[in-house]
Chain A
Amino acid sequence: MEIANLPISPSHRAKLLSAGYTTFSSLSAVSPSQLARDLNIALQEASDILKVVSDITRSESLHGGNAILKGAQTAWDMLSEEQMQKRITTGCDDLDTILGGGIHCKEVTEVGGVPGIGKTQLGIQLAVNVQIPVEYGGLGGKAVYIDTEGSFMVERAYQVAEGCIMDTLDKFGHHRKVILDCQEQMQPNSFLANIFYFRICSYTEQIAVINYLQKFLAEQKDVKIIIIDSVTFHFRQDFDDLALRTRVLCGMSLKLMELTKTYNLAVVLLNQVTTKFTEGSFQLTLALGDSWSHACTNRVILYWNGNERHAYIDKSPSLRSASAPFSVTSKGIRNATSQCKRVRMM
């Protein structure tokens, strides 16, 4: 690294060179006021130059001078990291299979479907399942539940937590020691205590809470999932300026993406459906339009297939398109009860 290609203005560069500062070491000992005098520039400018120089020398010594970019990671490192990650189980094995083990951290997953298909049920289930202690193969995290529609039922959450505890204990029935260790955690009340619930009554509040999350998550490091039920509700009414809506929504999705990466957590957005007129017929698609459809990493569509609930992977960078049946029982989301349990790959 030489003075000649320092990222400062050309006139400053020329002044540095003509004043005799030709190497980095010559700049290392100089004070801003002295530099300002020598170069005949303002003190602020001189300290800016010195800051640039010290930043570069520091990053050079850190990375041996050959790192391509500060903050960049190689795919190899990311792969190793990804393999260490645990997934948040949905409670339904078939659904977990097509999701590659469950809901991924560091990704935004959008779940959409017609009313009554079980979006909120899945949301509650995930808020509970994320808390399965590490000893039982879970993440032992906490959940943030952002409720815009008022559909979160705490009685139901209690039921689901009970069901989850029962099934987890069944699965680990032979490990007596583990059960004694986390007896306290495995109570429905402690599951409920670890769901942070925000009730949102307008889109302004929704934007505000997403901006606030940054601060909230810095304090609550254990949060592993954020569920927004639903992201659509307030944006579908009293919004006249559609262009503004697109901008606000895109800004919001970038914020969420950033949160997932920074705090290593999963974001699940529940979305409603709408009809769209394409190629001469009305078809069901997810609400909020075409720009929004890029706002998620993965998209799962829930739909009715006869009398059976199915989930379909509509978009994902790493998962293939596939569908799987699931059912909503009194304990929560579970495997489909009918005979046909086979996962259909497409």
Chain B
Amino acid sequence: MAESNEPQAKATASVSSSGNPTSSLSRVSKCPETLEEGKRSFSDDAGFARVQPMIEDWHQPWLNGVELLEDSNHNKHFLPTGYEGIDVLLGGGLCEGQLTEMVGPSSSGKTQVCLYSAALVADKHFGVVMFVDTCNSFSPKRIACIVDQLSSSFSGEAKERRLKRVMSNIFCHSVFDIFALLDVLHQLEFKLKQQVKSGDTKICLLIIDSISSLLTPVLGGKGSEGRLLMVSAGIILKKLANEYNISVLVTNHMVGGEGGILKPALGESWKSIPHVRLQLTRDQGSNICNVSILKHTFMATGRTAKFVIHSRSCSVQDGRGR
């Protein structure tokens, strides 16, 4: 029987990795009828021929290592956060094409890092920053303060103009549930697709502060829909990051784990999604924050650094008359 079906046997042999005679035999005995069936439906359904090119179009072209390296050298830059400690720790800052997550307890400096990076990236002409705000924590006033600090060498009119330019390059969108977030991400993807063709100023940093407050109300319980929503948000974020060379920064909070020790929220299935995971802590009543790497694509975990959140008062605000 095996000999009579020689061609099929060869075909299956390439599929079965071990070449175990009994397993290939059992496959062979099943093979003819399935192939027959396949042939019949193939010839019957002329639509398949029309669909096939579409399926082939659908998948991405393959790349080899050299091309990947070239892509990462040309398109995946580091965006500085502005905090020297973090930038040194990460070898330059937030990497484009990657999803970076910051976890930390309340008031540990997560939002400050987000606001500072937004201001710096918009200031250094890297591109447009998109800020998705879920806890009303986007403070334009704080951004104005940071820009004021950054442009201390300028004065008067030039400073004002610079402030306007930087702040016009930061877009903020308030989102209060996970479905709205998915909607925003789909819209964004659609816009980016167009932009790739028309070549407008590109979005280079997408910040979601905080993603966990959207996910906590839907997570847990008996159903798994919550986890599904979480993972699909993660997949879109990573896709956007990779295809359009965006650096995505999300924040996550911490919950009490076993023995009262704090651990990042959102659980195990989220843990595998971000490329880079940083943990922030701050001592009560001081400006000094500690940052440590919990996960990184190419760096050792456990390294730590310190940075200082400046709380200089904002002169530009008080002086501006409207």
A is bound by B: yes
For the complex, is B305 an interface residue (Cβ under 8 Å from A)? no
Evaluate contact between B105 and A293: CB separation under 8 angstroms.
yes
Measured between C-beta atoms, what is the minimum distance from A344 to chain B in Å?
A: 12
Chain A interface residue number, banded? 35 or more
Judged by a CB distance under 8 angstroms, whether A7 is at the interface is yes
List, in ascending order, chain A residues with CB within 8 A of B177's CB: 254
Q: A69-B184, A294-B253 are in contact. Are A79 and B311 (CB under 8 A)?
A: no
3 smallest A-B Cβ distances: which pairs? A293-B106, A76-B167, A251-B217
A299 at the interface (CB under 8 A from B): yes
The residues of A that contact B176 with a CB separation of less than 8 Å are 254-255, 257-258, 261
**Does any Cβ of B come within 8 Å of A335's Cβ?**
no
Chain A residue nearest in CB terms to B287: A321
- Assess whether A79 is in contact with B140, with CB atoms less than 8 Å apart: yes
30 contacts between A and B (CB under 8 A): A66-B200, A71-B173, A72-B173, A74-B169, A75-B131, A75-B138, A75-B166, A78-B172, A108-B136, A244-B221, A247-B219, A248-B217, A250-B213, A254-B177, A255-B176, A257-B134, A257-B135, A257-B174, A261-B176, A278-B260, A289-B255, A290-B256, A293-B105, A299-B107, A314-B107, A317-B112, A317-B137, A317-B142, A318-B141, A321-B311
A297 and B144 alpha carbons, distance in the complex (Å): 18
Further contacts, 19 of them, CB under 8 A, given A74-B172, A243-B220, A317-B138: A69-B191, A74-B171, A75-B138, A79-B141, A107-B136, A244-B220, A244-B221, A247-B219, A248-B217, A257-B136, A289-B256, A290-B254, A290-B262, A293-B106, A297-B136, A314-B107, A317-B139, A320-B313, A321-B285
Contact B128 A68 (CB under 8 A): yes
CB distance from A110 to the nearest CB of B (A): 10
Contact in complex: B255, A290 (CB < 8 Å): yes
Cβ-based interface call for B186 (8 A): yes
**Is A204 close to B, CB under 8 A?**
no
CA distance in complex: A291, B255 (Å): 6
Contact partners of A290 in chain B: CB under 8 A? 105-106, 253-256, 262
Contact A74–B260 (Cβ < 8 Å): no
Q: Does A202 contact B (CB under 8 A)?
A: no
Return A70 CB to nearest CB of chain B, in Å.
7
Interface residues of A in 298-321 (CB under 8 A from B): 299, 314-315, 317-318, 320-321
Contact of B105 with A318 in the complex, beta carbons under 8 Å = no
Give A293 to B118 CA distance when docked, in angstroms. 24
Interface residues of A in 36-73 (CB under 8 A from B): 66, 68-73
Closest to A76 in B: B167
**Which residues of B have CB within 8 Å of A314?**
107
Residues of A within 8 A of B303 (CB): none
Contacts of B139 in A (CB 8 A): 317-318
> B255 and A68: CB pair below 8 A?
no
A247 contacts B322, C-beta separation under 8 Å: no
Query: In the bound complex, do residue A73 and residue B322 qualify as a contact, i.e. CB atoms below 8 Å apart?
Result: no
Contacts of A66 in B (CB 8 A): 200
- Cβ contact within 8 Å between B140 and A75: yes
Taking CB as reference atom, which chain A residue is nearest B184?
Answer: A69
Contacts of B115 in A (CB 8 A): 317
Q: Does B272 contact A (CB under 8 A)?
A: no
A68, A248, A278 pick with most chain B CB within 10 angstroms: A68
- B54 interfacial contact with A, CB 8 Å: yes
- A83 in the interface, Cβ–Cβ < 8 Å? yes
CB-CB under 8 A from B140, the residues of chain A are 75-76, 78-79, 82
Take A7-B190, A80-B322, A321-B285 as given contacts and tell me if A291 and B253 are in contact as well, using a CB distance cutoff of 8 Å.
yes
Looking at the assembled complex, report how far the CB atom of A157 sits from the nearest CB atom of chain B, in whole angstroms. Answer: 28
- A205-231 CB mask vs B (1 if < 8 Å, else 0) is 000000000000000000000000000
Decide: A294 near B212, CB < 8 A? Known: A10-B58, A73-B171, A73-B172.
yes
Residue B168 lies at the interface, judged by CB distance under 8 Å to chain A: yes
Contacts A10-B54, A254-B217 given; indicate if A291 touches B265 (C-beta within 8 A): yes
